[in-house]
Amino acid sequence: MSLSNSDQQVLNRIFNPEMPYEQSEAAAGQPLSDTELEIADMTEEERDRLSESKKLEVEAIHAIERGDLSGGLDSLNRCVSLTPHRASCYNNRAQALQLRGDRRGALDDLESALRLSRGSGRVACQALTQRGVIHRAEGRDDEARQDFEAAARLGGPFAKQMLVEMNPYAALCNQMLREVIGQLSRPSDSAEDCSS
C-alpha cells in the first residue's frame, strides 16, 4: 500500500515533531515547506488573496521605510482584512502601531500574531521580542524577561542580547570589567613612583 503525499507528511510530522517542517519533509523525501503545504490546500481565490496580502505587506514596509507611516498602516490594515489568518500581517502592523505610539494597539496585534503562529517560528520570535520591548518600556521587566526568554529559545539574537542586559549579575560584571579595563589603560600614580 502506497501512502499519499499528504499522508506521508502527516506521519512525518507525528514521528518528527521537534524537527522544523522544512527539514522533516525533506528528510522524508518531501521537499515542501510549511507555506507550500498551506498553499496546496487553498482554493484559487484564497491563493489570490494570499498573494495580494503579501504584496500589500511589502508595500507597507517600503512605505514606512520612506516615512509614510499612514500609507503603510493603510496597506497593513488591508493586508489583515484580506488574510486575517496570517500572523505576519499582525506582527508587521504592530511594528507600525508602535512607531505611531499606539502601544495598546500594538499589543493587541502581537497577541493575534502569537495566537496565529501558535507561538513558534520566525513570526512568533519577532512578536515575542516586540512585546518584550513594550513590556520593558512600560516597566514590566518580569513580563519582558519572559518574552525575551521565549524569543531567545526560538533563536532571536536581539532577545538574547536583551536578556544579557536585563541580567543584574551580567550588568555588574560588565561594570566591574569596564572599571578594570579603565584602570589598566591609565597609568597609576604608584606605577610612576616605582619608575623614578
Is residue 151 within 8 A of residue 128, CB to CB? The reply is yes
Question: Can you tell me the distance from the alpha carbon of 104 to that of 92, in angstroms, rounded to the nearest whole number?
Answer: 15
pLDDT at residue 28 is higher than 70: no
Instruction: Please give the full DSSP string across 102-151, using - where no structure is assigned.
Output: -HHHHHHHHHHHHHHHTT-HHHHHHHHHHHHHHHHHTT-HHHHHHHHHHH
Query: What mean pLDDT value characterizes the chain?
Result: 77
Is residue 106 within 8 A of residue 94, CB to CB? The reply is yes
Map grid coordinates 524569543 to a residue.
151
Q: Which fold has domain 44-185?
A: 1.25.40
Per domain, the residue ranges of the chain are: 44-185
Alpha-helix residue ranges (DSSP H) falling in 138-188: 141-153, 157-166, 168-185
3-state DSSP helix/strand/coil % of the chain, to nearest 5? 80, 0, 20
Cβ count within 10 A of residue 57: 24
Please give the model's pTM, rounded to 2 decimal places.
0.66
Q: Half-sphere exposure of 99 toward its Cβ, with a 13 Å CA cutoff? A: 16
Query: For the chain, what percent of residues have pLDDT higher than 90?
Result: 41
Is residue 127 within 8 A of residue 108, CB to CB? The reply is no
Mean pLDDT, range 78-102, rounded to an integer: 92
Is residue 123 within 8 A of residue 91, CB to CB? The reply is yes
pLDDT at residue 173 is higher than 80: no
